[in-house]
Homo-oligomer: A and B are copies of this chain.
Amino acid sequence: MINAYHTLKTGGLESLRKAIRTGAYCSHTAGLGEGLLQANLAIMPEPYALDFMRFCQRNPKPCPVTGVSDTGKPFLHTLGRDIDIRTDVPAYNVYVDGSLQQSVTQITELWQDDFVVFALGCSFTFERALQNAGIPMWHIDHDKTVPMYRSNIDTVRAGPFAGKMAVSMRAIPEADIDTVVDVSRKFPLAHGAPVHWGDPASIGITDLAKPDWGDVVPVEKGHVPVFWACGVTPQIALEEARLPLCITHKPGHMLITDVAEDAESPILMSATC
């Protein structure tokens, strides 16, 4: 799999999508598809879709919608010319009544005529922009997953969707905070500016060494913990809503789209639906 990763990292989108579609590659997508927008995934039956879309609109920092399918159609024409969402994500999590039931590498047999697919922006986009601005990302340089925490910040409810906001943390040199805020604010579809920096306790995080998801990273002298709204938030809301069935990507295993990650809108100019 390591060899496959390095081959795919330097190949084009076509070979990358083919490897994922055929099941030849089913691992994480960090660093793959350079320059292309990646997306979190949430799939649910249509009766829940309007409330979920309202939830995302009311919580745009953790849940920025970058694409939505027609009902029953596994395609996202505005995000890619030939995306088939049943096969084009490396791994999926299947939830039944709000509980994780299984992880799978394709969902062709699980597909339903009433499914609606949502693609949501992810942090890979602003992390790459921060690196380009000269801000090192410790977790990437050390091949770790960013630490994520359940904060005490309430999301704005829509129908059955509610819950606390999940946040991700990156330790930033104090002198670079303004730069980090300015750069990440330019990506409203990838969580935007941080929601908090400084004392973790003021957003309900009692111990940085005990993340709820991901790995522990150090906060070195002169660095400040900076917290961004996190794409795990919709998974919390989906679990709390206890939908009879919903499907997400497996964390870290994203949809790689055809759209440039610095595009003004996540819409292919040639899109027709």
A50 at the interface (CB under 8 A from B): yes
Contact B156 A273 (CB under 8 A): yes
Which B residues are CB-close (under 8 A) to A159? 70
Contact B273 A58 (CB under 8 A): yes
Residues 35-61 of chain A, each 1 if its beta carbon lies under 8 Å from chain B, else 0: 000000000001001100110011111
Give the oligomeric copy count.
2
Contact A46 B54 (CB under 8 A): no
Which B residues are CB-close (under 8 A) to A158? 70, 273
Q: Give the size range of A's interface with the partner.
A: 20 to 34
Contact A157 B193 (CB under 8 A): no
Q: Determine how close the nearest CB of chain B comes to the CB of A207; give it in whole angstroms.
A: 26
Contact B50 A265 (CB under 8 A): no
Q: Once the chains are docked, how many angstroms separate the CA of A116 from the CA of B50?
A: 10
Q: Once the chains are docked, how many angstroms separate the CA of A267 from the CA of B70?
A: 27
Q: Determine how close the nearest CB of chain B comes to the CB of A45; give it in whole angstroms.
A: 12
Q: Once the chains are docked, how many angstroms separate the CA of A193 from the CA of B264?
A: 8
Contact B188 A58 (CB under 8 A): no
Which B residues are CB-close (under 8 A) to A78? 58, 156
Q: Determine how close the nearest CB of chain B comes to the CB of A196; give it in whole angstroms.
A: 12
Contact B272 A156 (CB under 8 A): yes
Q: Once the chains are docked, how many angstroms separate the CA of A264 from the CA of B61?
A: 9
A139 at the interface (CB under 8 A from B): no
Residue of B nearest to A60 (CB): B265
Residue of B nearest to A272 (CB): B156
Residues 48-90 of chain A, each 1 if its beta carbon lies under 8 Å from chain B, else 0: 0110011001111100010110110000011000000000000
Q: Once the chains are docked, how many angstroms separate the CA of A172 from the CA of B102?
A: 57
Query: Which residues of A come within 8 Å of B, CB atoms?
Result: 46, 49-50, 53-54, 57-61, 65, 67-68, 70-71, 77-78, 116, 154, 156-159, 185, 188, 192-193, 264-267, 271-273
Pairs A–B under 8 Å by Cβ, sample size 24? A46-B50, A50-B53, A53-B57, A54-B68, A54-B70, A57-B68, A58-B68, A58-B78, A59-B267, A60-B265, A60-B266, A61-B264, A61-B265, A70-B158, A70-B159, A156-B271, A156-B272, A156-B273, A157-B272, A158-B273, A185-B264, A188-B264, A192-B264, A192-B265
